[in-house]
Copies of this chain bind each other. A is one copy, B any other.
Amino acid sequence: MATHHPHMPNATEEATSAMLSAVGASDVEELYEQIPERLRFRGELGLPEPMTEIELQQHVGGLLERNETCESNLNFKGAGCWQHYVPPVCDEIIERREFLTSEWGSPESDKGRNQAWFEFCSQLGELLELDAVGLPVYSWGNAAGFAMRMAHRLTGRTEVLVPESISPERQSVMENYSRLSSGERRLTIETVAFDPETGELDLDDLRERCSSSTAAVYYESPSYLGTIESGAETIADVAHEAGAECIAGVDPITLGVLDSPATHGADIVVGTTQPLGIHMNGGACSGFIASRDEEEYVVEYPTLLLSVTNTATEGELGYAFMPEQLHRSSYGLREDGNDYTGTSVYLWTIANAVYMSLLGKHGFRELGELVVERSHYAAQRLSAIDGVEVRLSPSFFKEFVVDFEDAPVSASEVNDHLKAEGIFGGVLLGEEFPTLGDAALYCVTEVHTQADVDRLVDAVTEVVEA
């Protein structure tokens, strides 16, 4: 009755019977003596018959072939998961079995992996110009949620301001973090209006809402709608004047051409690292939290923190989780720890580290400029089509809002037409942001050549002018 499954070396009669006899059991049933019979499952599991590897490869490969991909189609969707170029080197490194399958280990036995994690934090720190960078959390939204709770713990206050232009999905994640223990209290998340011309935060509205109850002012640059926030300095000032923390959300791939929010006063910076060498994977996410290296902030991180340190050999460096921080997390203090901590997306931080070292000192600027130029080219060409308007357009990074309100077809119909042409049109914004008209959010990055953009423009022209 042994299956001889290739992944289970002991699934043989020989191994099983030798072990059973060593443990003094006559059959495996005996091993479950702790479980009362009434709790045993005695039915047949209704699962399909097992497949061999060759069958599985054909079966699963065949199923997945039914998907359409952003490789065989020309994709302009972004909205929090962007199609950037992933240098093949990133793949090679994280596919290595040492990294792919590693466990927790010890700082000595897994020194290389720990060093790679440290280099992730170190390089991200250079982009952000911040000295304290935590190990990753699940997503940008989670990072923002945790940061908001850090601000609550730092200030004791319960109101959080976020931009109205925030991704509704991100906001929904944050909402789930707004409960506070003992049931009665909760963080309230309020939105601050954005300028309908530029997409930037409405500073007057901000000043009005920001008060001595404000735990944190959270803003994003680029925003969900792609626009760059030029009022970073003022936002931080307003927050600080009210005694609130200033939290900024940022897409780190912009940081070759844009300042880190930290240089304009943000206390905590969060964001995603997906653009830094991680494939979209149908929705890959990764969040980071960073701050100045000040003890009051550091002790509030809900993430694990890794530090470079000495070893027993003079002059040698090692890398380890900071023990007290581990203790301060939920691993140590359970419900009294900082929020909760668990397995996250650590493997991907190694791809991030590789990505940042490939781009290095000059690559982020080169890449950033290319993205800005190509995306603005797309915006300008699209806006030249009759009935098509690009909103919030003065300065954006890679994403922009295309409004089809004045076109004879809807944004959704445009997408249908594009799909038939092998093009994935922008993410529809109509339901989420009705004030922007019948709009879609288009994303243009370094993977889009001029020819790709021209192809899009031709296809949109065709359907709009038909």
Contact = CB atoms under 8 A, between A and B. Distances in A.
13 contacts: A6-B358, A53-B87, A53-B88, A54-B85, A54-B446, A54-B447, A57-B85, A57-B88, A58-B447, A58-B449, A92-B95, A92-B97, A96-B96
Interface in A43-77: 53-54, 57-58
Contacts of A96: 96
Contacts of A54: 85, 446-447
Nearest to A55: B449
Contacts of A92: 95, 97
Contacts of A57: 85, 88
A419 to B, nearest CB: 20
Interface in A1-20: 6
A446 B449 CA distance: 42
Nearest to A363: B6
Question: Contact size class for A?
Answer: 10 to 19
Given A53-B88, A54-B447, A92-B97, 10 more contacts: A6-B358, A53-B87, A54-B85, A54-B446, A57-B85, A57-B88, A58-B447, A58-B449, A92-B95, A96-B96
A85 B57 CA distance: 10
A88 B60 CA distance: 14
Interface in A402-418: none
A92 B91 CA distance: 13
Nearest to A72: B65
Interface string A375-397: 00000000000000000000000
Contacts of A97: 92
Interface in A69-104: 85, 87-88, 92, 95-97
Interface string A24-56: 000000000000000000000000000001100
Nearest to A54: B85
Contacts of A95: 92
Contacts of A58: 447, 449
A248 to B, nearest CB: 29
A6 B96 CA distance: 22
Interface string A435-454: 00000000000110100000
Contacts of A447: 54, 58
A96 B449 CA distance: 33
